[in-house]
Amino acid sequence: MTKLSVNINKIATLRNARGGNTPSVLQAAIDVQKFGAEGVTIHPRPDERHIRYQDAYDIKPVISTEYNIEGNPIDSFLKMVFDIKPTQITLVPDAVDAITSNAGWDTITHKIFLAEIISECKSQGIRTSIFIDPNIAMIEGAAETGADRIELYTEEFAMQYSLGNKKAIEPYTKCAIRANELGLGINAGHDLSLENIRFFKENIPNLLEVSIGHALICESLYLGMEHVIKSYLQKLS
């Protein structure tokens, strides 16, 4: 079964819009695990417009499953990660002004940079994953960095699938096959939803984990979070 890690950034966005601590990201982390999610994902950005660095520290004690922290490996981010020592760090090449993640790493150009960070993470017992476009050359470059896993950036698939183009899965399947050959674990995320998750999972061999936030929180507004998480788990089983 593919594991579901719930990204709770949108809970923090709602909290920050009003100030105070409602809704509580800490309680959200507790609840998604209680409802069956096998992990909690956060993606703090330097401007802290949703998840704050302090949230990352506060959430750690309530994690009973897996803790995945995503982000651009700038110095402040790495200090936080090395303090907390989550289960997994997912390296994402976010521009400072990006609304959301919009590209994967060029693992060839940045191979030495990534390899140094990954080596330090692994020495501290932190599993490493690289956010990456569905490109065979980038998959092969990721393997040379020493990463444990890749996270396939799935926005293009999700957009094309919504338009009825199921062939959009093909580059992802090919990349997954190559990643398996290279001994890389496979994660995926970005715009995966209840509409497309089953099809995606059925076409990605050995998909270990999906990280889902925006769609899951939006679906939960109408259907309830517990129901939505159980629906994802059913489709991923």
Sites in the chain below the pLDDT cut of 50:
99
| Parallel/antiparallel/unpaired status of strands 207-212 and 3-7 | parallel
Residue recorded with tokens 């501290």? 124
Model pLDDT, residue 94: 78
Residue 43 designated active-site: yes
For 27-62, write each residue's pLDDT tens digit: 999 999 999 999 999 999 988 999 999 999 999 999
Rounded-to-integer distance, Cα 104 and Cα 195, Å: 23
pTM of the model: 0.95
Question: How distant, in Å, are the alpha carbons of 28, 45, 75, 192, 195 from that of 54?
Answer: 15, 12, 16, 28, 34
> CATH top-level class for 3-236?
alpha beta
70 belongs to the catalytic site:
yes
Q: How far is CA 84 from CA 99, 169, 227, in A?
A: 25, 36, 31
Helix 225-236 × helix 214-223 angle, to 10°: 120
Which of 70, 151, 209, 219 is the catalytic position?
Answer: 70
Q: What is the pLDDT of residue 101?
A: 55
Q: 66, 151, 190, 209: which is the annotated catalytic residue?
A: 190
Catalytic residue check, 140:
no
